[in-house]
A = this chain, B = another copy of it.
Amino acid sequence: MPQTQHVEKHFTASERVRDVVIGMSDGLTVPFALAAGLSGAVTKTNIIITAGLAEIAAGSIAMGLGGYLAARTDAEHYASERARESRETVEIPEEEKREVSELFEGYGLSGTLAKKAADEMSKDRRRWIDFMMRFELGLEEPDPRRARTSALTIAFSYMAGGLVPLAPYFVFKSMAEALLGSIVITLIALLVFGYVKGRFTVKKPLRSAWQTALVGGLAAAAAFAIAKFIA
């Protein structure tokens, strides 16, 4: 099945990109917004560094471990659905053949041809089940190494993203300078990240760049406004 393999490869690559995007967009945005928000409420940069690093630790573990468990859940869901389909091809083969036949008819095949195709397919049980998993249920077989890779990719992307907005708070002692530095460096990072992300996905890098920066900017502005209002 060269087609299926091709699709799976494509699928895996885009999943990896998606993991980096998930981790890094939140990593750049949330610690940035938290730091900006606290800048409006506290007077010492070391509280912001503490809160920022605590947030990065919490966020990367929550997202990474969350990604790990989500990928494991996907794999188990696939296995249990596959076991069910497998059982059904033994217990109610005529019913299952009829489902394949109806599926083909739905895509414009004549009744006789659809029935014949379902009959031929059912001779190889493994491929028959492959077909039903993919087509009837719309499920791809997950890569078994995916759960761990996904967890680490998301977690490290989050950390890498999160250290960018915090860096100026390490460098500058003055809150105003640190905040300004964080805004400048993070907006640049968001624009670059959005641009690259946009090239990978919809091929509209410029629009992706300003949209990504906008999300980060809005989140930071909201956090700043709320913190200012309370403090």
Contact = CB atoms under 8 A, between A and B. Distances in A.
Interface of A: 1-4, 7, 11, 25-26, 29-30, 32-34, 37-38, 41-42, 46-47, 49-51, 53-55, 57-59, 61-63, 65-66, 69, 73, 76-77, 80, 99, 102-104, 106-110, 113, 116-117, 120-121, 123-124, 127-128, 130-131, 134-138, 140, 201-203, 211-212, 215-216, 218-220, 222-227, 230-231
A66 B38 CA distance: 22
A24 to B, nearest CB: 11
Contacts of A120: 108-110, 113
A219 B26 contact: no
A222 B57 contact: yes
Given A65-B218, A108-B123, 14 more contacts: A11-B138, A26-B59, A30-B58, A33-B61, A34-B54, A34-B55, A37-B54, A41-B54, A42-B50, A46-B230, A58-B223, A61-B215, A76-B202, A77-B201
Nearest to A62: B29
A38 B26 contact: no
Nearest to A131: B107
A104 B104 CA distance: 11
Q: How many copies does the complex hold?
A: 2
B117 A230 contact: no
Contacts of A127: 106-108
A219 B58 contact: yes
A120 to B, nearest CB: 5
Given A2-B106, A131-B107, A226 B121 contact: no
Nearest to A231: B50
Nearest to A224: B54
A33 B65 CA distance: 14
A131 B114 CA distance: 14
B37 A202 contact: no
A199 to B, nearest CB: 12
